[in-house]
Structure 1
Amino acid sequence: MDLNLIQAFVDIVEAGNLAEAGRRRGVTRSQISRQLGQLEDQAGTQLLRRTTRRLEMTDSGQSLYEHGLRILQEVAAAQAEIDSLGKTLRGHVRVSVPTGLGDAFIAPLLLQFAERHPGISLRVFFANRVTDLIAAEIDVALRVTSEPPLDTVAREVCAIRWQLCASPGYLAQVPPVREPADLAACRFLCPPYTTRRFSLTLGRDTAHGPERRNVEVTPYLQSEHFPFLIRAVREGHGISLLPVYAGWEDVRRGSLVPVLPDWKPEGLGNRLYIITTPNPHPSMATRALISFLREAVAGLDVFSTS
């Protein structure tokens, strides 16, 4: 079978319709339809059922899609290996990073990588929620989580610590916060939780062993966009639960002050992972980016002092 026709078929399946597949391949709808017909002639069977709303794979189409995808990955890996025999790695990698972490720390690293490997083109997405890497067409994703998806390959990069912090101005206006229970009387800012009211868990080490406390809090303000939360806490809107990396510079400058520094709060995710789809033969470009990010991110001061 013609590899170009197999690639066209894979593009049709992933695009969901002929028009979108044609747009992605830079051809007309009629041309992509003709390519599908040629592949069905070569296969000797119908691969897609055309309905009024969408295209559905037949059993033969499903089989060809799965095998074809693996064949194309093998060809891409082989080409990358050949390219790597020269001086320049080549390829294209689609990478997704969380907004706050990406803005503050990952973006500069990706630019370093791009400068180091001019033969590799990057497409960078800033998003906090990508649940299906295949559907989103993502090769590499960085995610902060405690439980990476089971259907992915997760490479741990480093631990993620969380902290409570507030502006000096806000703390001057409220009663002293000396115990976890004192948080219940404060305005609380945090990432979105599944329930409006939840139990915040804090822990610390004592001479008698680990100690844990739970405090019921009702958030005053919630957002998954950490730059927004940091702005709110700087302006004195309350005490915020943030990853240490998010408030790193503000705490160092003194514009934010740690609250209950002896207590370590549990946040939404305690590890940073590099996540990919299961693929025994990732491209050399993808492997190079993963290796670079694992080393570079773990070496940052905000993470290496975890």
Structure 2
Amino acid sequence: MDLNLIQAFVDIVDAGNLAEAGRRRGVTRSQVSRQLRELEQQAGAQLMRRTTRRLELTEPGQALYQHGVRILQEVASAQAEIDSLGKTLRGHVRVSVPTGLGDAHIAPLLLQFAQKHPGITLRVLFANRVTDLIAAEIDVAFKVTSAPPLDHVAREICDIRWQLYASPAYLERIPPVREPGDLAGCEFLCQPYPPRQFALSLYRDGQRVDVAVTPKLQSEHFLFLARAVREGHGIGQLPVYIGWEEVRAGRLVPVLPDWRPEGLGNRLFIITTPNLHPSMATRALIEFMREELGKLEVFQDTAA
């Protein structure tokens, strides 16, 4: 089969329709349609069913798509390795990073990597809910979770610790918070939890205490939450990698520092799709990020 036609077919499946595939490939819709017909003739089978609303893969189409993705990855990896022999590393890596951690610590490292490897181009997506790397067209995803997906390759980087914080001004105007139960009377800021009211779990020396809280403000963007805490909107549950700089600057104060709240995810992973031969550009990015993240002071005592 023609490798160019296989690439066109993979692009059609990823795009979802002929028009979008044509836009991505820089050709017309009719040219993409013609390439699909040519590939079906070579394969001797119908690969997609055309309906008025969408394209649906047939069983042969699904099989060809899965093999096609792997074939194209192998070809790209081989070409990158050939190009890099005695030369600057080349390639393109699509990266997904969570917003708070990405803004605070991963983004500067990605820029360092880009400067170190000018032959490698990056496409960086800041998002918290990327689950299907193939559908999202992602090569490398940074994800904070307690349970990485079993159908992907997950490389553990470090533990993620959580802490409660408040501004000095907010603590001055509320009764002292000395025990977990004192949180029940405070405005609470945190990442989104499914129920409107939930039990916040705190741990100390093997002891667990649950406190019922009703959040005043919830957000997945921790820099926004940190700002709200800093401006005195309440006590916030934040990852330590966000709060520690604020504490150093005197803008925030740890609340119940001997207790650790349970957050949504306690480890940082680099996640990729299963691939025996990832491109050299992808391998270089993963190795660089694992090494550099481990050097960061905020992670050093928990780095894997």
TM bracket, shorter-chain basis: over 0.9
Write the distance in 1 (CA, Å) between the matches of 2:48 and 2:189. Answer: 50
What displacement does 1:37 show? 1.4
Structure 2 letter corresponding to 1:292: F
Question: Given the alignment of the two structures, is residue 176 of structure 1 paired with residue 172 of structure 2, yes or no?
Answer: no
Aligned to 1:120: 120
Name 2:49's counterpart in structure 1.
Answer: 49
TM-score (norm 1): 0.96
* Alignment match, 2:247: 251
Tell me, in whole angstroms, the C-alpha distance in 1 between the residues paired with 2:291 and 2:68. 34
Cα separation, 1, equivalents of 2:254 and 2:152: 36
Say how many residue pairs are matched: 302
Partner-residue secondary structure (3-state), 2:242: coil
Matches of 2:71 and 2:132, distance apart in 1: 21
Q: Report the counterpart of residue 225 of structure 1 in structure 2.
A: 221
- Residue type of the partner of 1:296? E
Picking from 204, 212, 220, the partner of 1:216 is: 212
Q: Which amino acid letter does the alignment assign opposite residue 300 of structure 1? A: L
1:100-148 deviation line (CA, Å, top 9, x unaligned): 1111111110000001111100000111111111111011110111011
Q: How far does residue 86 in structure 1 lie from its aligned partner after superposition?
A: 2.1
Aligned to 2:232, the other structure's residue is in SS state coil
What per-residue deviation string (whole Å, max 9, x for no partner) do you get for residues 159-217 of structure 1?
00000010000000011001011111111100001111111111112xxxx22211111
TM-score (norm 2): 0.97
Q: Distance in 1 between matches of 2:41 and 2:30?
A: 16
The percent identity for this pair of structures is: 78
Unmatched runs of 5 consecutive residues or more in structure 1: none
Which of 281, 284, 287 is the matching residue for 2:283? 287
- CA deviations 1:198-245 (Å, max 9, x no partner) are 11111112xxxx222111111111111111111111111110000001
Deviation at 1:63, TM superposition (A): 1.9
1:73 shift after superposition: 1.2
Query: 2:259 aligns to what?
Result: 263
Q: Using the TM superposition, give the Cα deviation of residue 153 of structure 1 relative to its aligned residue in structure 2, in angstroms.
A: 1.0
Q: In 2, distance between residues paired with 1:254 and 1:32?
A: 59
* Correspondence for 1:40: 40
What does residue 14 of structure 2 align with? 14
Aligned letter for 2:200?
L
Determine the structure 2 residue equivalent to 1:28.
28
Tell me which residue corresponds to 2:191. 191
SS in 2 for 1:118: coil
Stretches of structure 2 that go unaligned for 5 or more consecutive residues are none
Q: Distance in 1 between matches of 2:216 and 2:62?
A: 49
Query: Given the alignment of the two structures, is residue 86 of structure 1 paired with residue 78 of structure 2, yes or no?
Result: no
1:59 and 1:220 mapped to 2: Cα distance? 50
| Cα distance in 2 between the residues matched to 1:162 and 1:65 | 42
CA distance in 2, matches of 1:128, 1:256: 25
- For 1:284 and 1:147, locate their aligned partners in 2 and report how far apart those are by CA, in whole Å: 27
